[in-house]
A and B are shown apart, each in its own frame.
Chain A
Amino acid sequence: MYWYDETGKEKDVFVSTRVRLARNFTDYPFGDKLGKTGADEIVEKVKNVLRENGGYTYTVLSSIDEIQREAMVEKRIISPEFAKGCKYATLAENRDKKIYVMICEEDHLRIQTILPGFEPEEALKIALETDSLIDNAAKYAFDEKLGYLTHCPTNLGTGMRISVMMFLPALTLLKRMDSVKNELSRVGVTVRGSFGEGSDGGGALWQLSNSVTLGQTEEEIMQKLKEAVSVVAENERELRRELERHDSDRLKDKIMRSYGTMKYSHLLSSSEMMKLYSDVRLGIILGYISGISAEALDMLLISSLPANLEISAGKELSDRERDIIRAKNVKEALPL
C-alpha cells in the first residue's frame, strides 16, 4: 500500500504529505568523492540500525533495471537524481510505516516518509523517530551555526523538506496558480507541478514545500507550511463551490464528457490521461461520479504512467501499444 491507494485526511484536496530529512556522516566525503568502500561502510552502518527495528527491504539501485527505477520515481518514492546518478545508492523501504531511506543519494542519507492525505505532524514524527535511531548509532556531521551539514548548501540547517501534494482543479482551471505561487513565495513556500515538466500542474496536482531550512526549528517549518497550505485548500474549496453556484450544469457536463472519454477511448496517451484525471477526480469529490473512489483513481493514474504500465504489461512497449493498453486498463477499472 502506498500513499496513493490509501485513504487519508482531506483527500478532496490533499493527496499526500512528505517529510524528507537530509543527513550526512562525519569523516566521509559527499557524492562522487565517496568511493565504493565509503559507500559500503555507510550502507552497512545504516542497515545495522534498521535491522534491529525490523520491516525494511533493501534495493541496490544499480542492480535493478532502469525501467524499475523509473517506476519508483513515478510512484514518488525515490527522486529522479537517486534513480539516475548514484552509483552506490541503496533504498531501504519500510512499506508498513511508509518510510523510504535513500542511502548515498546527494547526501549520505535521505530519510523520507510519505503519508496519504494531510498529515504533517505524523509525517514529521515518523521521520524524526527514524532519524533518532540512526543518530544513536552513528556520528552525524553537524555544525553549531550551520546545523546539519549537507552536500548542497541550500539544505543546511534542519536539512528538512516538508511538502504536500495538492489536487487544485478549480485554482488551475481559473488560472489562479501564478498568483498562488507569488503569495506563497512571500511566506517561504515554493510551488511546482507534481507531474509534467516545468511549472505546469499536470492533472491539477501541485507540490507545495518549504524553502527555508536554516534558522527555524523543524516544528516551526512544519507549522508555517501547514498554515499556508490550509489557506490554499480553503481557497480551492471555495472556488469549487463558486463554480457549482455559477453554472453547475456546465461544470457537470465538462466532467462527464471527460469521464466518457476516459471510459471509452481506444487510444489514451499519458498527457491526455492527466487532463481527464483532473476532471474525473473532481467529479468523484463533488459526487457526480460514483462507483470509484478518489484513491482508486489515484492508483489508476500512477499505474498508467509509462514505466509502471510497461512493468505490469510484462514486456517492452511501443508508444502506440502503451496508449492502447492504458485505454484498456482504464476502461476496465472505471464503473459503467
Chain B
Amino acid sequence: MKCEKCNKNEATVFYREIINGKETKYALCATCAAEKEKESGLFTSFSPFGGDLLSGFFSPLVTGKKTVRDEKKCTLCGSTFREICSSSKAGCPVCYSVFREEFAPTLMKLHGNTVHRGRVPGRIEKEAEKKNEITELEKLLREAVAAEKYEEAAVLRDKIRTAKGEI
C-alpha cells in the first residue's frame, strides 16, 4: 500500500486519530510520518521511561493489513515490530537493521535528525582504516597500469588482495 502523502514509498506507519469523536486514519511512509509528527507537534513531552508514550506512538495499527504469518521477523531474535512496540525496546541489535524504516519516526522523535558522532569500536575503526588503505592502493594500481609499470602493478594487486582478505 502506497503512502497517502507522497504516493511514492510503501506505507509502514498507520495512524488513527480520534479528535472530538471524529476518527481519521492515515497510512504513511516513515519519512512522511516523521514530518507529520513535527508539524502537528504530537508527543511534545516525551518521557524516556514512557512505555505509554513510546508504545502509544508505535501502536495500534503499525503492521497494517498483514496477517500474523506475514509479519516481518528479526533474523536473530525473531521479534516482530509489534512486539518491539509493546515493550518499546528492541529485541536484539539486529532489530535496528531489520526494522530500520519502522524505527525511523521514533528515533527522529527521540534524537532528532542526528547521526552518531564520537567513539567507535576498535574493529570498526580498523575496518575503516583498511578500506582507506585499499582505496589508496587501488588508485596507485590504476596509475601504475596507466604508466605501463606492470611489475609495480602486480605488487600492488597482491597488496590489495591481502588487505581485502583482512577485513
Contacts and interface: CB of A to CB of B under 8 A. Distances in A.
Interface of A: 24, 26-31, 33, 128, 131-132, 135-136, 139-154, 156-158, 211-220
A29 B76 contact: yes
16 contacts: A27-B76, A29-B77, A30-B90, A30-B93, A142-B124, A148-B121, A151-B90, A152-B89, A153-B106, A153-B107, A157-B111, A158-B118, A214-B116, A217-B118, A218-B118, A219-B118
B112 interface: yes
Nearest to A151: B89
Nearest to B114: A215
B48 A211 contact: yes
B125 to A, nearest CB: 10
A158 B122 contact: no
Interface in B93-114: 93, 96-97, 103, 106-107, 110-112, 114
Contacts of A152: 48, 88-90
Contacts of A156: 107, 110-111, 116
Nearest to A154: B48
B123 interface: yes
Interface in B48-100: 48, 54, 76-77, 79, 88-93, 96-97
A149 B117 contact: no
Interface of B: 48, 54, 76-77, 79, 88-93, 96-97, 103, 106-107, 110-112, 114-124
Contact of A217 (B77, B106, B112, B119): B119
Contacts of B114: 157, 214-215
Nearest to B116: A147
A215 B113 CA distance: 9
B100 to A, nearest CB: 9
A29 B123 contact: no
Contacts, number: 105
A29 B116 contact: no
A214 B111 contact: yes
Given A24-B93, A146-B96, A151-B89, A140 B121 contact: yes
Given A135-B122, A215-B115, A153 B91 contact: no
A137 to B, nearest CB: 10
B89 A149 contact: no
B106, B110, B121: most-surrounded residue (chain A CB, <10 A)? B121
Given A143-B97, A212-B111, 7 more contacts: A29-B92, A132-B122, A151-B89, A152-B89, A156-B111, A215-B116, A217-B118
Given A33-B77, A139-B123, A143-B96, A153 B117 contact: no
Given A29-B77, A132-B122, A152-B88, A145 B116 contact: yes
Contacts of B115: 144-146, 214-215
Contacts of A141: 93
Contacts of B121: 135, 139-140, 142, 148
